[in-house]
Amino acid sequence: MKILLIGSGGREHALAWKLKQSPLCDDLFIAPGNAGTALCGTNLSIGVSDFERLGAACMEHGIEMVLVGPEEPLVNGIYDYFKSKPGLDKIKLIGPSKEASQLEGSKAFAKSFMKKHGIPTAAYAEFSADTYMEGVNYIKAHALPIVLKADGLAAGKGVLICQHHLEAMSEFDLMLHRAKFGEAGKRVVIEEFLKGIELSMFVLTDGDHYILLPEAKDYKRVGAGDTGLNTGGMGAVSPLPFVDDAFLEKVKKQVIEPTIAGLKQDRLEYKGFIFLGLMNDNGDPKVIEYNCRLGDPETEVVIPRIKSDLVEILMATSEKRLHEISLDIDDRSAATVVAVSGGYPGDYKKGKEISGLEETSFDDTIVFLAGTKREGSKVLTNGGRVLAVTSFGSNITEAAEQSNYMMEQLFFEDMYFRPDIGYEFKAVEN
């Protein structure tokens, strides 16, 4: 099987690393890829939403399967583009249709989908410039804190948790009257604040059947102890000690099964990953958000824990045979620690040489590269999140310590990582 993987983050290096291990993978291309994916296959310098050139590259290289990593091309309709072009329509494209990708692309769409199909989520209302005054009144009467969400994709920045009514009203005004999040903020979802412990769960569906992948927890804040600004993710761990069979059963019955039945009922074509951002409120799951892809950096712990052949699983997805698949999971814990360029998630510099990559290697540790590029024999930083070091251990604390140790062998100017990934599990594990 000749495969094209789309994307360029640490997630895509982890996926490329896994795809390459399959005896079913004859050739792997990555567009545009990074210095890490280049170790697993051939990088093609094509943007993730340049469908024409992606399609032409598929024809040129005889690609039989396309796996889409990030949300942008999905929300822009890559699935529909491929299905509409003779020649490309036969390719097994793993990812939802444009309409189904609205589960991530529009918060208002996702909320109304959940409401219609009885899926537990925060109570909400949706407003636009036309209903501005109703929105203001809704905020005034709302319990604190109040959660405001820009409807569209806003690179993880479109969610505001407001502790005061005045703050919520002023942010609401900025979104609807001052285009704070551009087009994405022209519609605003106002919702109830959910309590509990947040976690990420991943489902792969073929539209009829599904398999559940290992769960993970992502560390979104830039600073130790979950302080500072939100980022794309500074680390992740899997599995989670508080996810027991009773909780999993509730997630399946109350969230996953109604989601898949709802997709089918609403005729939303979906062959791909569903990322459930969940709140565990005393053992009861509520959906914070859907994403139409895998998480980054969650993938860097979820994928290494899967022992089964990923290409076989993706083929079964495309052929609606997922009920034939049972996953073989590594029962060890995995932790990934992300190294970022100083300044991230604000401004940061690029082009710094990364050293230590070749000299050091440990059993049970994998260095995934994210925002990086190769220049001659050097690997240079090329983004905010630069490396994701994943280790296995007998528990989360041991895995995270091993990744921290490995991180100390690596260097680039202004490198920063959170030294406390998995911190809250230390007490329960010791």
Residue 37, contacted partner among ligand AMP, ligand GLY, none, CB below 5-8 A by kind = none
Start-end of H helices in 25-84: 51-61, 71-75, 78-84
Residue 109 to residue 219: CA distance in whole angstroms:
26
Residue 106: C-alpha distances to residues 180, 285, 313 (Å): 17, 21, 28
- Considering only residues 216 through 255, tell me which ones interact with ligand GLY, judged by CB under 6 A: 218, 233
Which structure tokens are listed for 234?
Answer: 């500074």
Does an H or E element contain 168, and which? helix 165-177
Q: Are 350 and 35 in contact (CB under 8 A)?
A: no
Return the half-sphere exposure (C-beta side, CA atoms, 13 A cut-off) of residue 127. 22
Give the residue, chosen from 57, 159, 174, 306, that forms a contact with ligand AMP under the rule CB under 6 A: 159
Residue 426: C-alpha distances to residues 225, 333, 399, 400, 429 (Å): 13, 13, 11, 10, 5
Smallest gap from residue 230 Cβ to ligand GLY (A): 10
Does 198 interact with ligand AMP (rule: CB under 6 A)?
A: yes
∠353-356-358 over CA atoms, to 5°? 105
Smallest gap from residue 148 Cβ to ligand GLY (A): 19
Residue 213 to residue 236: CA distance in whole angstroms:
15
Give the residue, chosen from 12, 72, 296, 300, that forms a contact with ligand GLY under the rule CB under 6 A: 296
Start-end of H helices in 62-164: 71-75, 78-84, 102-105, 107-116, 132-140
Does 122 interact with ligand AMP (rule: CB under 6 A)?
A: yes
Smallest gap from residue 356 Cβ to ligand AMP (A): 32
Residue 147, contacted partner among ligand GLY, ligand AMP, none, CB below 5-8 A by kind = ligand AMP
Does 266 interact with ligand AMP (rule: CB under 6 A)?
A: no
Does 12 interact with ligand GLY (rule: CB under 6 A)?
A: no
Does 32 interact with ligand AMP (rule: CB under 6 A)?
A: no
Q: Which residue is nearest to ligand GLY (CB)?
A: 295
Residue 358 to residue 364: CA distance in whole angstroms:
16
Cβ distance to ligand AMP smaller for residue 77 or 277? 277
Smallest gap from residue 310 Cβ to ligand AMP (A): 26
The pattern of x and - marking residues 287 through 306 that bind ligand AMP according to CB under 6 A reads: -xx-----------------
Cβ distance to ligand AMP smaller for residue 36 or 135? 135
Give the residue, chosen from 1, 58, 139, 147, that forms a contact with ligand AMP under the rule CB under 6 A: 147
Does 298 interact with ligand GLY (rule: CB under 6 A)?
A: yes
SS3 97: coil
Binding site for ligand AMP (CB under 6 A): 122, 147, 156, 159, 191, 193-194, 198, 277, 288-289
Binding site for ligand GLY (CB under 6 A): 218, 233, 291, 295-296, 298
